[in-house]
Amino acid sequence: MGYLPHTVQDIKKMLDAVGVERVEDLFEDVPESVRYPSILLPDGLSQMEVAGLLEAVSQENVPGAKTANFLGAGAYNHFVPPVVDHVLSRGEFYTAYTPYQPEVSQGTLQAVFEYQSMICALTGMEVSNASHYDGATALAEAVILALNQFRGKRRKIVLCPGVHPEYRQVVHTYTQGMGLVIVGESDCYVDVGRITGSIDENTALVAVQVPDFFGEVNPLTPVVDAAHAHGALVCVVADPISLGMLKPPGWYGVDIVVGEGQGLGIPLSFGGPYLGFFTTREKYVRRMAGRLVGETTDRDGEPGYVLTLSTREQHIKRDRASSNICTNQGLMALAAAVYLSVMGKYGLREVAELCYHKSHYAAGEIDKLAGYELLSRNPFVKEFVIQCPIPVEEINHHLLHEYDIVGGFDLEQIYPDRVNQMLVAVTEMNSKLEIDDLVQGLSEVSG
């Protein structure tokens, strides 16, 4: 048990150490109206009354998977084969913890090994971990890998403006206080020329997203060549569904490929839990966070699976650990493994092609409407940007209440210069009828 102060002098020393005069000052960020003991709580309710109240509140929510949903921006309504939930619900997987003892954890270890193998094949990389909390933490860990690779001698990170803004925020959270120079993210439009011009001899990592946050596929080769010419590493944030039809980033010679695996058999689930996949070159494997499962043979020559690399402080000396990633993400990795094995490479390609054709149909129909303009000029797979005649918030209100449609993402919320611009996501789950209803709803608002 830790030390507990028991005298006024002890408390005074603690307050002085943190730079405040009174204990109350520690709670200055909490509004006075909700501070203890003045919290005004309603009278108690019975269990039956509480259940009824919560049920009524829950019905106010609009489930994303139960409506015509065109909201993407990092989380997507993709089809989840029923077998995914069936496998996840099995007790041996659902309750499994860290496989400290391989002799009793072969099922979990093999599932992770298969996940790693398929993610490597999908991204064109050599090694994968299992795994991170989401795409944002995976990118942040890529930044840490690059800094460790150069042993702190390079202090500059180039983040393309097309990288998801929430991912960039997590990178800042991970690296605050390190004295890094993070550049390339002040623009609200992607300019490959400006990205390559920002790279110099002090750059540790260049991060780009394909397709980017605005849905567009920008050329990778100039960025990779410029980064490697200065000795920097390149990280690509990739959408795994789009890799069903796009060239794997690993084929461009990039060093790290990360991304959000939510589309691989994981439902929207109000924002989590999700899956951050992380792949890299074998030469960087010892700087990779997370766990890596390998295949071996036992004394009888039978195949078996073990933790080949584990960088958590629970497994190795704390001063050598590079990760605190926990076991709960193993279940999400299993979901992705089941999804990929069921869909196969042809099924994944079909999903990507459905997204491509449906999104292009929607973009073409919207572009015909008076007052609307398709702003996406580069190729896109499932997301595109449209210029709207009125604020996106007003449009989405009309779509939701008149058509039961969840509209696109209001880019002005994050990018003040993108006034009245909507990011629309179309997946294989959106029927032609839903798309036509969206177009009809947009036309009514413009009128």
* Domain boundaries along the sequence of the chain: 82-341, 347-446
* Global pTM exceeds 0.85: yes
Amino acid of residue 347: G
How much is the mean pLDDT over the chain?
90
Measured distance CA(349)–CA(140) in Å, rounded: 29
pLDDT at residue 128 in the model: 96
Which among 286, 327, 348 is positioned nearest to 119, based on CA atoms? 348
Q: Is domain 82-341 annotated with CATH 3.40.50.920?
A: no
CB 76 within 8 A of CB 427: yes
pLDDT for 415-428, tens place per residue? 999 999 999 999 99
The kind and range of the H/E element at 305 are strand 303-310
* DSSP code per residue over 16-77: HHHT-SSGGGGGTTS-GGGSTT---PPPP--HHHHHHHHHHHHTTS--GGGSEE---TT---
CATH architecture of 347-446: Alpha-Beta Complex (3.90)
Measured distance CA(427)–CA(383) in Å, rounded: 9
| CB atoms inside a 10 Å sphere around CB 245 | 15
350 φ, ψ (degrees, to nearest 5): -65, -40
pLDDT band for position 148 (cuts 50, 70, 90):
very high
Q: Does residue 314 register a pLDDT over 70?
A: no
pLDDT at residue 1 in the model: 44
pLDDT band for position 42 (cuts 50, 70, 90):
confident
pLDDT at residue 10 in the model: 84
Least confident of 151-155, 187-191, 262-266, 283-287: 187-191
Q: Does residue 260 register a pLDDT over 80?
A: yes
